[in-house]
Amino acid sequence: MRAAVRDIFDAYAKQDFGRVAARIDDDIQWVIYGPRQVFPFTGPRAGKRAVLDALAMIAKDYMIESHIPKIMVVDGDRAAVLSEVIVRQRTSNRALNFRIANFLRLRNGKIVEFEEFVDTFDVTEQALGRWINLN
């Protein structure tokens, strides 16, 4: 289990999307929480095709500079991973630096459930390149 999780994160960090795709179950349930108007790839996705589309949307807008798992908790068929991430926004060349929490369930070495949490307020400000006005 741990080896499979490490392989998934290693493949994603290296932007080896073929290897990532091979680790996605056809019936995956997937969600990235966040504001869709800023990050169009957020929200729930069902099925491998929809998840690959979301990954393609991420890759269209952002280039991964580093994606390093710092904490990995593995329990049965589930894992939780806290990673430190740096991505570069292609349109602005801005670097976005944040921590991310991923929760996965694997079946036969493939992801069947995926949830992603991030401090969306902070990452949105980084993506927009300005503070969000709260007044």
**CA distance to 88, 91, 93, 132, per residue, from 116 (Å):** 19, 24, 24, 22
C-beta atoms surrounding 133 within 10 Å: 5
Return the number of the residue (14 or 101) whose C-beta is nearest other proteins: 101
| Contact stretch for other proteins (CB under 8 A) within 8-16, 18-26, 120-128 | 120-128
5 lies in the site for other proteins, by CB under 8 A:
no
**Token digits of residue 38:** 């800023």
Scan residues 76-105 and list those touching other proteins (CB under 8 A). 78-80, 82, 91, 99-101, 103
Is residue 39 part of the contact set for other proteins (CB under 8 A)? yes
Q: Judged by CB under 8 A, does residue 69 bind other proteins?
A: no
Size of the site for other proteins (CB under 8 A): 40
Measured between alpha carbons, how far apart are the two ends of the chain, in Å? 47
Which residue in 36, 95, 39, 26 sits closest to 63, CA to CA?
A: 95
Identify the bridge partners of residue 95 per DSSP, sorted by sequence position: 88
DSSP character at residue 29: E
For position 26 contacting other proteins by CB under 8 A, the verdict is no
Rule CB under 8 A: which residues touch other proteins?
33-41, 53-54, 57, 60-61, 71, 73-75, 78-80, 82, 91, 99-101, 103, 115, 117-122, 124, 127-128, 132-134
